[in-house]
Amino acid sequence: MSALLSARGLRLAFGGVKAADGIDLDVMEHEFLAIIGPNGAGKTTFINMSTGYLRPQAGSITYDGTHQLLGLPPRRIVKLGVGRSFQLPQLFTEHTVLENAALALAAREGIWRPFAPLLRPAIRAEAEELLERFGLLHLADRRADALNEGARKLADIAMAVALRPRLLLMDEPTSGVAAADKMQVVETLVRVLREARVTAVFVEHDMEVVARFADRVAVWGQGRIAALGPPGEILNDPEVQRTVIGVVPNAVA
Amino acid sequence: MSRHIEWLAALLGAALLVLLAWSAPWLRFVLTVALAKGIAVLGLLLLLRAGQVSFGHALFVAFAAYAVAFAAPSVPEALLLLPLAALGSALVGLVVGLFVVRYREIFFGMLNLAISMVFYSLLEKFYSITKGTDGIRLPPVTIAGQALTGATYEWTVFGIALVLALAFGALVRVYLASSMGQALMGIKTRETRLEFMGVSGRRVLLAAYVLSALMGGVGGAIIAMTSRHVTPALAYWTASGELVFIGILGGAGSVVGPFLGAVAYELTRVYAAAAVADAWQLILGAVLLAVILFAPGGLWALLRGRRTA
């Protein structure tokens, strides 16, 4: 296994707050890497830097051994095969779920076709197949702003997967999803991403999800990586439990 | 379903206009101008779909109108003048567009306004070239080599305007249903997502902007050929405001809307100006207020019997 994404010495401060204070991280091909840590630790900042949304003040991010991602706009990074999903789903709210999926699929070849209908048979079939994989087909004709949070999250990720990324960075894929739906959303995600052989990095607050989903866990704290390792080891680490998970050992109430 | 209704409305409307122009000859001029403005507003509708309003689109109308006026002495052929002038406007649209598509909403609207007012001032102040507010009178032009006069000329220009209105209506309809058109609507709701789909929102908007400038140019060229006199007033900010007014009046929900709006606007103006010469703007204002309050989808939505915001 080789590193698909290599971050070295990333630094970014917002005023006095160090959102990235020397981040070194290798994301291995085909692994699922969870990022955990308290609010404000710089987890989303890492995703934003890796996808061109924010530019670090120092450091480098190498993709696939050769591409330097720093300084590239998001759309160029996407074209290299790095997709992302959002904590707040970014859907075209006045379009239907099917149209959202179709637009993402059309974007893969470039959308510059002023005379070909978006919902031409080939794209419609592919969009329906994509929604089917995500268990969203029954919602195809709903407007995107009429979905519940779980479905919106999945639709958001489906649009990223439509572009066939090799690496997918997901910002809290399960936050805001009703507790009853959460595990089903996760099961769907794991299945689709494994099938598509996508390498995934995801920020997550639910340790049950992390334990089930992640091959490795990176613990963020104040812009640094405080710990990195397999979930069994990291999630049972007393320091991680105290600072991130909020378990007080031998608590006396 | 919606497709058939629009086609039916367009063909019915076209037949109705021909009938009107035939039964009241003096309306031929009014309706030709209405169709020309409708084509320009159709261009504005593209930008409205992206959630952007241009308060300076009269720039493209006026540019093409003056292009026709300047070129007519050396190229006195309408079928050459019209496409040349429209392409000229499209080119100006490309240059202006490269700049304004970097901005959104109020900044987009105001920058368009500012640029159109610069053009207005140039037309007004460079008297030696543009004859200032006196404007330029058009020499007679041939249409397909024929030197037409009087009613025949008017009917022919009216016919050209009608055919172009139908053609651009169909074109915009196809464009809006395409990936490019759907991405354009995505600018209104989630431009961030476009970027993360590998698509530049600015380029999507620029393409629509150039197309809208082209249509503004077509409208301007028709206006120049039918009124045979161009003045800087064509580029003044009230002319741009008029286009936005017509767009809202007709409704942005369908390509039929701009033409409904334009015909309603021009007829109201003519009749209101005749009935209450001093207060016709008052009547137009009241009509717009009523449309915004009670029919936010414009006349088109009103005709279809349901509201679409």
- In tens digits, chain B (309 residues) has pLDDT values of 566 888 888 888 888 988 888 888 888 999 999 999 999 999 999 999 999 999 999 999 999 999 999 998 898 888 999 999 999 999 999 999 999 999 999 999 999 999 999 999 998 888 788 887 777 888 888 888 788 888 888 899 999 999 999 999 999 999 999 999 999 999 999 988 999 998 999 999 999 999 999 999 999 999 999 998 999 999 999 999 999 999 998 988 889 999 999 998 998 888 887 887 788 788 888 888 888 888 888 888 888 775 443
A106 in contact with B, Cβ within 8 Å: yes
Q: Does residue B74 lie in a domain region?
A: yes
Give dist(CA A172, CA A37) in Å, integer.
12
* Residue located via tokens 């291995």: A28
State the nearest Cα–Cα gap between A209 and chain B, in angstroms.
26
B181 in contact with A, Cβ within 8 Å: yes
Size (chain A), residues: 253
Residues 20-59 of A with CB under 8 A from B: 51
State the nearest Cα–Cα gap between B196 and chain A, in angstroms.
5
Give dist(CA B52, CA A74) in Å, integer.
23
Q: Does residue B58 lie in a domain region?
A: yes
Give mean pLDDT, residues A73-93: 90
Q: Does residue B140 lie in a domain region?
A: yes
Residues of B in contact with A106 (CB under 8 A): 179, 182-183
- The whole-number pLDDT of residue A31 equals 92
Write out the residue range of the structural domain in which residue B78 sits: 2-235
> Is it the case that residue A73 has pLDDT exceeding 50?
yes
Q: What is the token pair recorded at B245?
A: 């007014």
Inter-chain CB proximity B179 and A92 less than 8 Å: no
Domains of chain A, first to last? 3-245 (3.40.50.300)
Inter-chain CB proximity A111 and B183 less than 8 Å: yes
**Backbone dihedral region for residue B147 (phi beyond 0: left; psi -120 to 50: alpha; all else: beta):** beta
Side-chain-facing half-sphere of B194: CA atoms under 13 Å: 23
Better-scored residue on pLDDT, A19 or A251 = A19
- In chain B, the number of structural domains is 1
Q: For an interface test with B, give the residue of A50, A80, A103, A163 to mutate (most B CBs within 10 A).
A: A103
Q: Does residue B123 lie in a domain region?
A: yes
Task: Report the chain B residue with the minimal C-alpha distance to residue A90.
Answer: B193
Give mean pLDDT, residues A53-66: 89
Inter-chain CB proximity A83 and B182 less than 8 Å: no
Task: Report the chain B residue with the minimal C-alpha distance to residue A109.
Answer: B198
Pairing label, strands B229-230, B136-137: antiparallel
Nearest to B199 among A102, A111, A117 (CB): A111
Q: Does residue B208 lie in a domain region?
A: yes
Size (chain B), residues: 309
Task: Report the chain A residue with the minimal C-alpha distance to residue B179.
Answer: A118
> Is it the case that residue A72 has pLDDT exceeding 70?
yes
Burial of A245 (0-12, 13-18, 19+ CB in 10 A): middle
Q: Does residue B179 lie in a domain region?
A: yes
B186 in contact with A, Cβ within 8 Å: yes
Residues 193-232 of B with CB under 8 A from A: 193-200, 204, 207
Residue-wise pLDDT tens digits, A5-32? 998 988 888 888 888 888 898 999 999 9
Residues of A in contact with B190 (CB under 8 A): 90-93
State the nearest Cα–Cα gap between B211 and chain A, in angstroms.
11
- The whole-number pLDDT of residue B183 equals 92
Residues of A in contact with B177 (CB under 8 A): 117-119
State the nearest Cα–Cα gap between A92 and chain B, in angstroms.
5
State the nearest Cα–Cα gap between A109 and chain B, in angstroms.
10
Q: Does residue B268 lie in a domain region?
A: no
Inter-chain CB proximity A118 and B182 less than 8 Å: yes
- The whole-number pLDDT of residue B3 equals 66
Q: For an interface test with A, give the residue of B172, B194, B196 to mutate (most A CBs within 10 A).
A: B196
Q: Does residue B59 lie in a domain region?
A: yes
Give mean pLDDT, residues A200-222: 89
ipTM: 0.85
What letters, b where the CB count within 10 A reaches 16 and e where it falls short, cover B149-160? Answer: eeeebbbbbbeb
- The whole-number pLDDT of residue B2 equals 62
> Is it the case that residue A252 has pLDDT exceeding 60?
no
Inter-chain CB proximity A107 and B190 less than 8 Å: no
What is the band of A253 on the pLDDT scale with cuts at 50, 70, 90? very low
Q: Which amino acid is at B68?
A: V
**CB neighbour list of residue A210: distance below 8 Å, 6 or more residues apart:** A34, A36, A204, A217, A231, A235
State the nearest Cα–Cα gap between B28 and chain A, in angstroms.
33
State the nearest Cα–Cα gap between A234 and chain B, in angstroms.
32
What letters, b where the CB count within 10 A reaches 16 and e where it falls short, cover A220-243? Answer: bbebbbbbbeebeebbebeebbeb
Residues of B in contact with A114 (CB under 8 A): 174-175, 178, 180-181, 207
